[in-house]
Amino acid sequence: MQEIKDPPAQGPLAGVRVLDIASVLAAPFATSLLGDYGAEVIKVEQPGVGDAMRNLGPFYQGTSLWFTVSARNKKSITLDMRKPKGQEIVKELVGISDVVAENFRPGTLEEWNLGYEVFKKVNPRIVMLSISGYGQTGPYREKAGFGMTCQALSGLTYISGYPDKPPLNPSFSLADYVSGVFGALSIMTALYYRDALGGKVGQQIDLGLYEGVFRLMEFLPAEYQKLGRVRERTGGPSGAMPVNIYETSDGRWMALTCSTDRVFVRLARAMGQPELAKDPRFYTNPRRVENSAAINYIVAQWVKERPFQQAQEELDGAGVPISLVCSIADIFENPQYQARENIIEVDDPVIGPVKMPGVTPKFSLKPGRVTGTAPALGQYNDEIYGRLLGYSREQLALLKEQGVI
């Protein structure tokens, strides 16, 4: 195997070691975010099988493009944690790591003689992120839970879509990605407590997939408690008007947001109808919400008379927030994306250059970067087991023969 050299230490998390024993999406996305900022992420995969995401499309020349991007900046090793020797090695890795991330169904790690209570005895400073469908406690603890089902439990699906049609789930697993962001935030909070505030010890972070999305529901509990109101599907935002998607004369779609009275005044002037801002039906946001059908019709008619470029120039000039509803093809041509380097290109040794989202957000002093696409299965076995843990080539050969790695 070709010798793998570490890139120079970089990013604000250089020196932080993360053990990723998770699969597919939520917890691996959390560790991917940490890897963007320089953390060393060691990804543990089942020998001969790998992360299930390696088999999720879209594919290019037999390679999962999803996994190629999702597992960027990571070091893949193979290890069967169900075997006693594999469990012993996991503990060795935990002993030299700062963070471990997992998303097994609650109780699975404990069945393998692993889990947080075992890990903290090995390394009291370890921070462990545990993401599951419904969390480590409660009557749903042992239920199988994927992103779409957890979005349904969160309340998001119920309010998404049109009133005359069934509830609508997002077209991608929002719950997994939201949980990944909350997971990365919680890891950094736990590390800050451990290192900066003198806590000196790590802790376990317990996150259910539905909980991150429910946190985004923000005012729904208060609305139900205080007003007795069950929010229903409206086809779009309903707390402010006009906030909608409108079609232009050239068949493009434009998103317009007018969530304050001052912006509505600007919109009315831009439309050449300043009297709308004094109309009793529309002069305040609550009144516009009550008369949403009427104001949406007026705006839609104005937009429909113009090609998108003209509508954009007129509304941008008036200070009214609008945007083209962008396809990925539009995004590739968008000057804002180009100026911000929101799309980067990373060379993959198998399928060549791959476009992917850049590192977000941008740090002025120690920016993150992407050093490589997803590694081959077990690509870093020699480095991690040999150089880091001190196993000899003979020991590694035996472990491979036994199916441990």
What is the set of active-site residues? 176
The amino acid sitting at 165 is: K
Q: Give the alpha-carbon dihedral of 103, 371, 54, 4, to 10 degrees.
A: -100
Q: Which neighbouring-strand residues pair with 348? A: 352
Both tokens of 231, joined, read: 């929010």
Give a three-class secondary structure readout of 310-364.
HHHHHHHHHCCCEEECCCHHHHHHCHHHHHCCCEEEEEECCCEEEEEECCCCCCC
Question: E-strand spans in 65-157?
Answer: 74-78, 99-102, 127-132
Instruction: Kindly list the distances between the CA atom of residue 98 and the CA atoms of 14, 29, 119, in Å, as whole numbers in the listed order.
Output: 12, 17, 11
How remote is the C-alpha of 175 from its chain's centroid?
8
For CA atoms 265, 268, 274, 279, the dihedral sign is negative
DSSP category for residue 18: E
Both tokens of 330, joined, read: 């539009």
- If you count DSSP H runs as helices and E runs as strands, how many of each does the chain have, helices first? 18, 13
Whether residue 94 contacts residue 398, with contact meaning beta carbons closer than 8 Å, is answered with no
Both tokens of 130, joined, read: 């545990």
How remote is the C-alpha of 341 from its chain's centroid?
19
Q: Which neighbouring-strand residues pair with 356? A: 344
Whether residue 405 contacts residue 381, with contact meaning beta carbons closer than 8 Å, is answered with yes
